[in-house]
Structure 1
Amino acid sequence: LTTRELGRMIRETGMDFVNLPSEKFDAPMGIATGAGVIFGATGGVMEAALRTVSEVVTGKPLECIDFHAVRGLTGMKEAEVSLDGTVVKVAVAHTLANARLILEKIRRGEADYHFIEIMACPGGCIGGGGQPVPISADIRQKRIDLIYECDQSHEFRKSHDNPAIKELYDTWLGKPNGEKAHHILHTHYQQQKRQ
């Protein structure tokens, strides 16, 4: 279901969406983090991952959780992030033409990234095919700015701080990256013969 389809359904039912009373989302997944919100913008997945990886690797809380080097509408971004003295090289691209540039740098031996984020849609999901049109660079930037404003307003801004997710691990999954969590949360693909 795309954003445009949802908007059309709301209009077709005559629902006065603007004047609906505020409600909390259903548990257990109703608690969101700013890290989850920024997934919609190019660089958002990278930034969310860096927020968690930094604290998991170093065991220390981040002084600043905003990684501005991976933000913005530049087609390809590269950054080096220090995690307690260990340098992590990252790259972010949106649109497949920019993804190709990253892959060509790697193929030529000019880059040795530790982590790459690629989003096919211009600006990330906020510029995807199911979003309201018209889409321009200015509109994309405004959507990205709003996403980061929402991130700033969340009580929890790092994925690993989400109390609902912590409870899910404590109750059902065991430790993150543990055997049970890996078995339940990871998908495995295998080639199938055509019939």
Structure 2
Amino acid sequence: MKFISLTIDDKPVRVLEGTNLVEAAKKAGIKIPTLCYSKNLPVVSSCRMCLVEIEGFNKLVTACSTAATEGMVVHTETEEIVQIRKNLLRLYLDNHPSDCLTCSRNGNCELQDLAYRYDVKFRVHDGARRGSEKAGFTDTSSPYILRDESKCILCGRCVRTCAVVPDRNILQFGNRGFDTKIIADYDTSLEKSGCVSCNRCVVECPVGALVDRRAYRKGRTWERTIKEVKCKSCDYGCNMKLIIDKDKVVAVEAANPQNGRPLCLRGRLLTELEYVDLPEKPYKKIYHEDGNEFEQVTWAKALNLDNVYEKMNRLDEVENE
């Protein structure tokens, strides 16, 4: 391993060779704004929020796709860069619902955080907004994921994280231009699609386009506390977050799946059953000839333990004879 030294906003920093500038800046306590970037996903540099200036370069570059090199001098908040970010944020907000006060991601939204950081506000305009005049932009077919395409900023993080696990790859970009949106399979609902409700996409979504329905509106972000636990369903031991409101666990959410860990609905439900006092009824996707459908089931069936549960009962009956 080779370490290199560089300067970011007049701060010296030493990082491993090959580290991108977003991660290098974090080492110096500097947060370069991003929307499409995630450390665990392939880099696409589509949101352009992380543009920085490097001395000796003839143009601005994206920090997420630029590796730090020895002696590099980087500026992340020049007047030009700040103005570009403000312009970008105005475009994002111009095409975004202005329901922040009632949005479930209020206080926990990356777009909201950046708009506050750069003092960019919603503008009144007569132009169209994505989903404002079209039906089907809100998908409520799944009991586990609420999908609101009108809030989607097309960062693609959900698409990329869905593709990390080879046998999933359900989400993708559909249509073109202003009509571009994220679709499931061949533009069907989450219920009818092959989605397994692992919630990888929900974890990565930076806004309120994808929400965990079982944690939906269960305590405001600033009122609840989070405790991380390990799932006990299998050897992966995926990270889960307990949502605690007034000293009571009210919901369980999947945490960021590191090192390609797949996440699964069974593990999340098992963790929910263990920690939540009054968990909601579970659902399981049933595969019919005419399409997939969610059905309310017992906890034993939801966790694929119905046969084991029946055998345990039979054994207990034999022992009691």
The alignment's TM-score, normalised by the length of structure 1, stands at 0.28
Q: Which has the higher strand share?
A: 2
| Structure with bigger RCO (C-alpha 8 Å, 6+ apart) | 1
- Greater radius of gyration (CA): 2
The alignment's TM-score, normalised by the length of structure 2, stands at 0.20
